[in-house]
Amino acid sequence: MAADVPSLRWEDVHGPARAVVYGLLGSQDAGLARSLHDEGWRGHGLRPLGLTSPQFKGAPRKNGVYTTSRDGSVWFGSPVPEIASLLITSLASRAEIVWGAARLKMRGFTLDVDVPQPSGPVVLDTMTPVIVKRESRYLLPGDPFFVERLQHNLVHKADVLGLPAPEGLQVLEAGPRRRFTVRGAPRIGARVRVAMEADARFVKALRSWGLGLDTVQGFGWVR
């Protein structure tokens, strides 16, 4: 994607993501998009889909500015084929995506399919911050209860998909604290590198869903 502005407003890095993804889904199936937004997926509060904020290669470095370039990408995904197919159909028909105050001109579209991997130990890195909360407080890697709450989220996601829950979650590495504003409220997290024992089907699901909370806002996307 190529941005039509030299930088994104900080509130537009993650802020428009929810509206963008529901707009894509709604253009193909308004009923499913509305149900997913209002109720979650088939009786579960979670929404099994994820995306990234716009990522730009070769963007000039400017202190305190989220700069853009003509070599940008946004990843979308879902472990549910019904949702994923709507995203694919909608994206394939688009020439641009309106992302907050910016217009992202689509220069190409690629379908990324994971190569099957065996079950067992796996290491996952995220390219956007992971959001974890406990009693309305945002937690960062190294904080008490961070691993516990992230594990709880993983178990919940496995339950939604009817897959075995992972075990032995460990945080191997973490990036710096990042704070973004989404719909006037803060989101605080950090990119992480984690290890776990997991079923191969669940690992594949996480790669198209993400780690932690607010994946529909572009957080927790697995690299």
pLDDT of residue 157: 97
Q: Are 193 and 171 in contact (CB under 8 A)?
A: yes
Query: pLDDT tens-digit profile of 130-188?
Result: 999 999 999 999 999 999 999 999 999 999 999 999 999 999 999 999 999 998 899 99
User: What is the Cα–Cα distance from 132 to 213, expressed in whole angstroms?
Assistant: 6
Q: CA 111 → CA 99, 108, 130, 155, 208, distances in Å?
A: 21, 10, 24, 28, 12
User: Which is it for strands 96-99 and 192-198: parallel, antiparallel or unpaired?
Assistant: unpaired
Query: pLDDT tens-digit profile of 4-48?
Result: 999 999 999 999 999 999 999 999 999 999 999 999 998 888 999
Query: pLDDT tens-digit profile of 70-114?
Result: 999 999 999 999 999 999 999 999 999 999 999 999 998 888 877
Torsion (CA) 4, 9, 13, 19 in degrees, nearest 10: -80
pLDDT of residue 199: 95
User: What is the Cα–Cα distance from 81 to 20, expressed in whole angstroms?
Assistant: 19
pLDDT of residue 113: 76
Model confidence, pTM: 0.94
Q: Are 141 and 190 in contact (CB under 8 A)?
A: yes
> pLDDT-derived band of residue 211, with 50, 70 and 90 as boundaries?
very high
